[in-house]
Structure 1
Amino acid sequence: MGRNKLERFRQIEENTNVIQPGKEIFEKIKGNWKAVQFQNEAPLVVELACGRGEFTVGQARVEPEKNYVGVDIKGGRIWKGSSIAIAEGLKNVAFLRTQIELIEASFEVDEIDELWITFPDPRPKDRDERKRLTAPKFLEMYKKIMTPGGHVHFKTDNTGLYEYTFELLNSREDIVIFKNTRDFYMSEWKENHHGIMTRYEKMFMEKGETIKYIEFGFK
């Protein structure tokens, strides 16, 4: 392991905006994000597979009235976002280092007010369907930890994943679709995201891909 990587892991151990196994707060955070980590009652917004945290940190800058948590398993990625948030003095940003399959261990029932699924791995092979972040087993997890009336935002460049997700959501009686477009930046909602783009989003758009977007909630 390189020196830079070791130094980054040392830093995230010290960064108070990173919640990860081995830290005492990791075992206590479930149900206590607002009271313990943020010490306020502002809405809790979570981004799954946040990567370097560009979107999480970007939203926190323009919406200080909300608390933001980026979730990822890669410590090197989380180091980037957490370091930027600390350097900018953003108190409404935190990062959770865990596998998304285990998020119910870190969030209580009805704890999350808003959820973002931004450019997840499309998992195009049929045998990998259960691993897609919009597969039924994940939807059931989200349904438990979302507050009643909470909204889920899904963005992807991948047409196959978009069509799979839309068909699945549209087939369920317990889900309502609020917004749906095959070309987000040509839609009436493009300003709602404050022009914040992830590294992958910029890369896909430079290749000529359109960004698909669905906003939905659980009845």
Structure 2
Amino acid sequence: MGQKKLIRFEAIKGFDNVLEYPKDMQGNWKNHFGNDNPVTLELACGKGEYSVGLGRLYPDRNFIGIDLKGNRIWRGAKTAIDDGLTNVAFLRSHIDKITDYFAPGEVHEIWITFPDPQLRASRMKKRLTYPRFLRLYQQITTPDATINLKTDSPDLYNFTKAVIDLYELEILVDDDNIYAKGDASAELSIKTHYEGLDIAGSNRIHYLKFKLNKELPKEKEAILKEMFIGNDEVMEDDDDDN
């Protein structure tokens, strides 16, 4: 591990706005923030640009960026501290452990910004919009919570649309090129490090906003498998670094 990473890992241990694998946080985020304001999560937040950006836009709401990489979290946490954003925090954890840190109904909104699209078909179950993850989100969100996906990957965008359609979820916004009309909202105009890289080389950013307003029976996952990888291929195990 490089010297800079080591320094940042050590630094976040002293940041009041960073929690690393904390215990007894379920239902207690209001104590951390000192208020009962609605909570929004940014999953796989990287450097936390969205958590910080949304925190600036909405001072009456609380934002928590979640990522496993402490050296990335350092950037967002440091910016939030420097800017006096007491409504922004960061949680170092695997995404699939999210129910360990939030109580049912504690989260009002989730943003998934430029996650790894896991392009190999066999890794489909590792996509953060795969049903097993959506079921985890359902366990911690309010009944009317919204999920936001912003990605440069047409594959992840189309896969997520297929999931939404399969489970008959309510879709609120479907935009396959948010900057085409030149009138992107303040929320969607927040840019992350990974958006700047445009790893997919798509030259367009896709956005979906939907609700988890239906049950997500596991049996239907077989249909996704048939649609995207075929019966002769094997999906990898769930264990990963999400």
Amino acid at match of 2:128: L
Structure 2 match to 1:71:
66
Give 1:198 shift.
0.5
User: How big is the shift at 1:181?
Assistant: 1.2
**Structure 2 residue 203 is the aligned partner of structure 1 residue 209:** yes
Per-residue deviation, 1:142: 0.9
Residue 53 of structure 2 is matched in structure 1 by: 58
Secondary structure in 2 matching 1:64: coil
Instruction: Give how far 1:144 is off.
Output: 1.4
Structure 1 segments of 4+ aligned residues over 6 angstroms from their partners: none
How far apart are 1:136 and its partner, in Å? Answer: 0.9
Separation of aligned partners in 2, 1:216 and 1:48:
16
* Local SS of the residue matching 2:40: strand
When the two chains are superposed, the root-mean-square deviation of aligned CA atoms in Å is: 1.8
* Shift in CA distance, 206/119, structure 1 to aligned 2, threshold 3 Å: closer
Matched residues in 2 for 1:189 and 1:148: separation? 30
1:134 maps to which residue? 129
What amino acid sits opposite 1:179 in the alignment?
Answer: V
Answer whether contact 2:153 2:202 (CA < 8 A) is retained: no
Q: Identity of paired residues, percent?
A: 40
Tell me, yes or no, if structure 1 residue 95 matches structure 2 residue 107.
no
TM-score by length of 2: 0.83
1:188 to partner: Cα distance: 8.6
TM-score, normalising length: structure 1: 0.91
Q: Which moved more, 1:53-62 or 1:42-51?
A: 53-62
Matches within 5 A, 1:35-184: 36-173=31-168, 175-184=169-178
Stretch deviating more after TM superposition (132-141 or 184-193): 184-193
Q: Is the Cα contact below 8 Å between 1:52 and 1:80 reproduced in 2?
A: yes
Unaligned segments of structure 1, at least 5 residues: none
Structure 1 residues 159 and 3, CA gap change in structure 2 (3 angstroms): closer
Further displaced range: 196-205 or 99-108: 196-205
CA-to-aligned-CA distance 1:58-113 (integer Å, 9 cap, x gap)? 11112111100000000100111111111111100000000001111111111110
Aligned length: 213
Q: Deviations over 1:124-155 (max 9, x none)?
A: 11110110101110011111111111111011
| 1:205–1:20 distance in 2 versus 1, CA, 3 Å | closer
Q: Which has the higher helix share?
A: 1
Distance 1:206 1:100 in 2: 23
Query: C-alpha distance in 2, partners of 1:177/1:112?
Result: 19
**CA-CA distance at 1:11 after TM superposition:** 1.4
